[in-house]
Structure 1
Amino acid sequence: MRHLITLEDVSSAEIERIYAITEDLKTKFQAGIREPLLPGRMMALLFEKQSLRTRVSFEACMTHLGGGSILLGEDAGFGKRESIADFTRVLSEMVDVIVVRSKKHSTVEEVAKYSKAAVVNGLTDESHPCQALADLYTLREHFGSLKGLKLAWVGDGNNVAVSLARGCAKVGMSMSVCAPEGYQLPKSFVDKLKQQVPGADITLTDDTTEAVAGADAIYTDVWTSMGQEAERDQRLKDFANYQVNGKLMAAAPKTAVFMHCLPAKRGEEVTDEVMDSPQSIIVPQAGNRMHVQKGILVWLLGSQA
């Protein structure tokens, strides 16, 4: 049984396979065709956190593919009425795939341990693989190819940054991660990634201008994520010089695009000027969540038909 918990779970060739499926299905979607490749398949959405893009994109894509979905929130009693093992064993008797959006990464790992169904990480505190795959696919669409592109991440070295670093290494992109001291990607993570993917080009810096020099895409995220609200005041101070604004975008090539996984705190990590500029590709980036997740579901479930 294959799962998608982090991008360590997929090879470069498998990413290309997912993208080939995505491109085929997106082309058909734009022509008004919803190809039902997964008829009768059931997906459970097991969410501990709020969601717009992840929930709607997964529900929509499974419907387009001919399957169905069930949202399981507080009412299901996950992690409260019974053990995760018991909950998962029973749930996976009834569904084909479980998408888990959890507060702790260990939760999705435990679900995968006991599940007979494919498990997909819909977001944890450590990883957001579906977001990263959609982001890189968006750049592939925009530039025609990924190999040799540079992504500049400006902000907290969070779960999305971790997943993008893994993804960039596997598709032949370089990545510059710019964050203040205490918020950078752990050096141990970067060293391990370079061992796992020879040739991985990941650099760490605290200089925003250095980070965006030569960048094809500039990416940021909120400075205070869900669950970090108590740190908000300190984070606002620590990240005050890391805003993506017109001045920073001007330090990058004119062809550079702006990306954000959303939701954004306009006026904090990014200005309206950048969010709404012609360089911003945040809307197609969000829309590609649905298309890439179709590719993921067909890749995971199609061979198990």
Structure 2
Amino acid sequence: MNFYNLHIINDFILKKYELLSLNEIKNKKNFLLIKKKICIINEKQSLRTINTLINFLNFFNIKFTIINNKHNFKKENIKDFSRTLGILYDYVFFRSYNDIIIKLIAKFSGSVLVNMLSNNYHPIQSINDIFLLYNNCVYFFGDFNSNVFKSIIVNLTKINKYKTIIFFSPKKYWNYIFLKKIFNTKKIILSEKIIFLNKNVIIYNDVWFSMGENYFKKKINNLINFQINKKIFKILKIKKIFHCLPSYKKKKKYSEIEECIFESNYIFFDKQIIDKIIFLKSYFFISNKVFFNYYYY
């Protein structure tokens, strides 16, 4: 296992054996942490991902700095900003609008950079969830280009070798260029119509609108027929429903999932949150940088 100086910029960077090692080590080791200098750059609003990280750091009494000031990326030279981060911090956790900026900071800072979410990828969420989805038939509903959808496809196709991944999504959102990058595309089915299955499935759903997004009407018209509602339960045998929080509530009639389903026992986001904390512990533990110097006890 070798996470030496490993940035998690997107999901293509991780190998299958690394994903399996992360899962295997969960809850198996206790360790003491010697603290490193940590910076959290929170450019995008976050309900779950950043708060989970902060919860973990607080639990182990690890100090960290949060940077919320966006002017750094608009006015300062990105190389100089990156080098400044490298001098001040060992590790940078970055939630960003821009994948290019993430790559540049990783390249020029000298710090280990972990992508907590960007426009195209959500690796922390996907690495956490794939082992809850593992060995199940997974049905994705909504926008194929969702960052968490793309991240989960990349990682799930590495470990879910014999299971089918189905996308129930408008054709205009199908991303063939992205699919060509994935090793096992034969197990991915894209469809604008519900595919009937005689086995239990897990549905994975993402919000139609990100925090701060205001252009609703056009997207609602494209996605309204791909909503998770009571009709779906008459067609599919649903085992569980994963939802990348928060659910959009401003226009309940036009949200990605009906309120009664979101509040039902089919949703278990509490398990997703707890497992994310365990994943962060596992990742920190096996990092050979060392993410934290550790001692067995």
Name the TM-score class by shorter chain: 0.7 to 0.9
Share of identical aligned residues, percent?
23
AA in 1 matched with 2:263: D
Q: Which residue of 1 aligns with 2:191?
A: 205
Match of 1:129 in 2: 123
Q: 1:68 to 1:104 in 2, by over 3 A?
A: same
Contact 1:3/1:119, CA 8 A, preserved across alignment: yes
Which of 6, 17, 37 is residue 2 of structure 1 equivalent to? 6
Matched with 1:44 is 39
2:141 maps to what in 1?
154
Pair 1:222-2:207 in alignment: yes
Letter in 2 for 1:122: M
Q: 1:12 to 1:189 in 2, by over 3 A?
A: same
Structure 1 65/116 Cα, relative in aligned 2: closer, same or farther at 3 Å?
farther
Query: How many angstroms does 1:111 deviate by?
Result: 1.0
Q: Which residue of 2 is the match for residue 287 of structure 1?
A: 274
Q: Whose RCO is larger (CA < 8 A, sep 6+)? A: 2
Query: Partner of 1:178 in structure 2?
Result: 168
Residue 247 in 1 paired to residue 231 in 2?
A: yes
Q: Would you say how many aligned residue pairs link Structure 1 and Structure 2?
A: 281
Which residue type is aligned with residue 52 of structure 2?
S
1:171: Cα distance to partner?
A: 1.4
Q: Residue in 2 aligned with 1:300?
A: 287
Residue segments in structure 1 that go unaligned for 5+ positions in a row = 26-34, 140-145
> Is contact 1:152-1:215 (8 Å) kept?
no
- Indicate whether 1:99 and 2:88 are aligned: no
Instruction: Point out where structure 2 has 5 or more consecutive residues left out of the alignment.
Output: none
Query: What is the RMSD of the two structures over their aligned residues, measured on CA atoms?
Result: 2.2
Q: TM-score, normalised by structure 1?
A: 0.84
Q: Is the 8 A contact 2:179 2:185 kept in 1?
A: no
Deviation of 1:301 after TM superposition, in Å, equals 5.3
Q: Displacement, 1:198?
A: 4.3
Kept in 1: contact 2:39–2:65 (CA 8 A): yes
TM-score, normalised to structure 2, is 0.86
